[in-house]
Amino acid sequence: MSINKILYTATATAKGGREGHIHSSDGVLDFDLKVPKELGGPGGAGSNPEQLFAAGYAACFEGAVRYVAREQKVALKEASVTAHVGIGPREPTGFGIAVQLEVSLPGIDRDVAQKLVDVAHSDICPYSHATRGNVDVQIKLI
């Protein structure tokens, strides 16, 4: 499916790849990137593309769950999403990512919570739409 109307465009520039620097057009993001030790880099102060993707997916998915809850008249007092984004080699070449989303909806009946998460993933979250069929995404209610 295509987007009917672009409502917002985020713009960021990277220089130097995984050991470079990123900045957003509005200056909110402006920091160095470091290759994690697990990938053969130095680690240390700096982020990496997987952390940035995890942060974006977690925030977007929680927003989608909250949206579905409002639409279905379910009162959410608390919610959180933790995204784990793994990277590794894929066949026959290159690298791929896998995602696990841990969703916490305290005080919500488990069946209701599962329905909120399912609708958020299948119908609402643009990260879920973008990854569908390309990335292994597992969702776990905790």
pTM over 0.85: yes
Indicate if 59 and 116 belong to the same structural domain. yes
pLDDT computed for residue 1 by the predictor: 66
Q: Are 83 and 125 in contact (CB under 8 A)?
A: no
Q: What is the pLDDT of residues 65-89, one digit of tens each?
A: 999 999 999 999 999 999 999 999 9
What CATH number has the domain bearing residue 110?
3.30.300.20
Number of domains in the chain: 2
What CATH number has the domain bearing residue 7?
2.20.25.10
DSSP 13-70: EEESGGGSEEEETTSS-EEEB---GGGTS--SSSB-HHHHHHHHHHHHHHHHHHHHHH
Query: Residue 118: which domain range?
Result: 49-141
Work out the angle at residue 100's Cα, subtended by the Cα atoms of residues 41 and 116, and round it to the nearest 5 degrees. 150
Indicate if 62 and 111 belong to the same structural domain. yes
Residues of the chain whose pLDDT is less than 50?
none
pLDDT computed for residue 86 by the predictor: 98
Indicate if 55 and 102 belong to the same structural domain. yes
How far from 74 is each of 10, 62, 137, CA to CA, in Å?
A: 31, 14, 25
Indicate if 77 and 127 belong to the same structural domain. yes
